[in-house]
Amino acid sequence: MGSPKFMRPKPGGHGGGGGERSPNLYVANCGPAVGLSFDAIARAFGEFGPVTGVYDADGRGTRVIVSFSDEGAAEAAFTAFNCRPCSQLAGRFLHIRYSVPRPSTPVRGNDSVEV
């Protein structure tokens, strides 16, 4: 089935994080292609609350989605890590925005007509 798809939330939200808050963070400069495993990322972000998943954001391995079980944990991680060196992740400067799950596209039914 693959990992969930995410997108940027509606503009005009709080915190300068790319829109309204959510329990999901889009994190750039972070991922396997820059030497950071999904487990290491989950441990670092887990300091702020339960992480429900870490997903590749774009197939390049340099951006991830970190999903928390609650919005408050995501907000705390955003505040602590955005545009700052993260000692838990090899001192990398992380660039973070809020992210929301992309709405699923409805599957069209069979449009055939009996003859």
Q: Does the residue 108 lie in any domain?
A: no
Residue 91 scores a pLDDT above 70:
yes
Q: In the chain, how many domains are there?
A: 1
Q: What are 49-86's pLDDT values in tens digits?
A: 999 999 998 889 999 999 999 999 999 999 999 999 99
7 in Cβ contact with 99 (< 8 Å)? yes
Q: Does the residue 114 lie in any domain?
A: no
Most confident by average pLDDT, 56-60, 68-72, 98-102, 103-107: 68-72
Q: Does the residue 112 lie in any domain?
A: no
Q: Does the residue 24 lie in any domain?
A: yes
Q: Does the residue 111 lie in any domain?
A: no
More confident residue, 59 or 112: 59
Residue 1 scores a pLDDT above 50:
no
Q: CATH number for the domain including 83? A: 3.30.70
- Quote the tokens at residue 79: 């505040």
C-alpha span between 82 and 45 (Å, rounded): 12
Model confidence, pTM:
0.78
Q: Does the residue 54 lie in any domain?
A: yes
Q: Does the residue 78 lie in any domain?
A: yes
Residue 11 scores a pLDDT above 90:
no
Average pLDDT over residues 81-105: 89
Q: Does the residue 42 lie in any domain?
A: yes
Average pLDDT over residues 17-27: 80
* Domain range for 80: 6-61+74-101
φ, ψ at 26 (rounded to 5°): -90, 120
